[in-house]
Amino acid sequence: MALSVRGLRARRGRFELFVESLAVNSVVVLLGRNGSGKTTLLDAIAGVIPAEGVVEACGRDVSALPPEERRLVYIQATPVDPPAKAGKFLRAVAARWGRDRRAVLEVAERLGIRHLLEASSMSTGQKQLVNIAAGLLADPCAFLMDEPASHLDWFNKRLVNNVVRKLDKPVLYVTHDPIEAAYVGDRICVVEQGRLTKCVDNPGVKTDDVDRFVEALFS
């Protein structure tokens, strides 16, 4: 079921975002210059900043609900520090959603982070993988992802991209990387000065040459 937005208006100082309509059925990528309003759009949908207009998720109007009741997973560009070791944290998230330890191990396997479950310290990119794992353990109506791969190496970026492509939930995905946009998105929308100025279906740009180039460098 789609995540959809109608007549969404939000302000940040003198900056104004207005999105007349946006339907997210699969993976929709937002591309735009710095300061164009991509994060503001995700913040407004998540409900972490005040906004006018309608946001629908799982077929219900969530516009008046606080963020924690909207059933949206919001992965932000800068990962949140897990409050405990990754394994303990992810087991707590799983329990919150009625899932067991096997679900944690399965998600950790998918994201290649089993070795981090008991780690006492992690890099920023490793923390981001744990944040993404926590999001996958939840049962949201949709995912909002703001540059989720900006701290990830190419291999982890591809791994996360592949996980995102297989999610059977709507995903609104911000990246600055057009190669990543072409790889992960079903639709690509351009954000300019707080407006969606263009949305196109992914024409199927091939990114294999870049993949081969990076793999050769690290082989």
- Provide the binding-site residues for ligand ATP, judged by CB under 6 A: 12-13, 15, 32, 34-40
Measured from the CB of residue 176, what is the shortest distance to ligand ATP in angstroms?
6
- Which phi and psi angles does 149 have, rounded to 5°? -105, 10
Measured from the CB atom, the residue of 56 and 147 that comes closer to ligand ATP is 147
**Shortest Å distance, C-beta 48 to ligand ATP:** 12
Give the nearer residue to ligand ATP in terms of CB position, either 32 or 82: 32
CB of 43 to ligand ATP, least distance (A): 7
Residue nearest to ligand ATP (CB): 35
Q: Which amino acid is at 2?
A: A
Q: Interior CA angle at 125 toward 119 and 129, to 5°?
A: 70
CB of 38 to ligand ATP, least distance (A): 4
**Residue number with CB closer to ligand ATP (13 or 203):** 13
Q: Which amino acid appears at position 159 of this protein?
A: L
The 10 Å CB-count burial string (b at 16+, else e) for 107-135 is bbebbebeebbeeeebeeebbbbbbbbbb
14 half-sphere exposure, CB direction, 13 A CA radius: 0
Nearest CB to ligand ATP, comparing residues 34 and 219: 34
Residue number with CB closer to ligand ATP (56 or 146): 146
Write down the least CB distance from residue 35 to ligand ATP, Å.
3
Residues 46, 5 contacting (CB under 8 angstroms): no
| Cβ–Cβ under 8 Å, residues 43 and 19 | no
